[in-house]
Structure 1
Amino acid sequence: MVDMLCRTGLVTEAFQFVQEMPIESNPIIWRTLINACRAIGELKLGEEISRQLIRNDPLYESNYVLLSNIYARMSDWEKKRSVREAMYRSGCWKFG
């Protein structure tokens, strides 16, 4: 359901759906939502969710990559660089 809402550009509705689900959401659902936020320009929401994922799982590299991509979309190169540095310091680094 979250993916379908995101694909149709209804990111706010997808976010609300996730918050109201009777089961606990998992990181995959949140990453789907972040990618949709970046794609349609809901960058502040994507940033907020990404930061929460990093706090919950600081060793999972894609959480940093998603936030870095949000900052790139915002053309905030300083924040993008700082996220990549934090990723490196945490011990997980995406090569390539």
Structure 2
Amino acid sequence: MADISKLKKATRLGSPPPISEASQNLDAPEVAPAPPAAPLITATRIDARSSRKTNRTQQFATRVTPEWDNRIREIAQREGLLLTEVLEKALDAYEKLLAQR
């Protein structure tokens, strides 16, 4: 049989600190972190999802640059349109331009 009396008892963490040295973070009020610094483009994104029902059901997703996104959202806000309506008008104008050639 193995003699384990000579083995050292593992003390990994040691004794805990006294209460006076413990952090008081549980007693502190919760404070939200500060928001990150504003990006260079400061246009406010407009959420038009709840503005009105359109009966459009086909989803269309793509990746665009932040500058393009800001430009189309500014147009939509200025004209009082949904983003999809701006895109529809742009497509109509493009097709009309092609038909004139």
TM-score w.r.t. structure 1 length?
A: 0.23
Structure that is richer in helix per residue: 1
The structure with more radius of gyration? 2
TM-score w.r.t. structure 2 length?
A: 0.22
